[in-house]
Structure 1
Amino acid sequence: MQKIDPIYLLPESKFLRAHFYASSKQFFGVFFSTFWVNIVVIWLSTLALYAALYYRLLKRFLDFAENLFSKEKE
């Protein structure tokens, strides 16, 4: 592993994983700027959390789990 100036080292992983201070990330063999990859990941996470809140997925999951475990005790 390169110890000096790791920003110039290309990442080895083919799917968005990279070492600390990597200037780019690979996505199926295509290199993208780390900044834009991080922005896209943040937006996708925000949209997923919005959908979970909008459709009340946590409440549905907890209701499902309650019904599942209450049937086992009977």
Structure 2
Amino acid sequence: MRTLKQVKCGETVSVVKLTGEGALKRRIMDMGITKGTEIYVRKVAPLGDPVEVNVRGYELSIRKSEAENIQVAG
């Protein structure tokens, strides 16, 4: 299973599963990233961190460490 960290610029993917524990998982869900949500990867910073994505019509920056906990398909 791929994670959001592995998705390339310009790809649109769908969230399959959130991994992680407690506060980290809650933080990701509070950003609007839940199972079935579509995520469009806008750009990746030159050194790879953070990743800019579009989720539910708004822009969001996510750290690589957080992106590793989001399993995606597509």
- Length-normalised TM-score, structure 1: 0.25
Q: Larger Rg: 1 or 2?
A: 1
Q: TM-score, normalised by structure 2?
A: 0.25
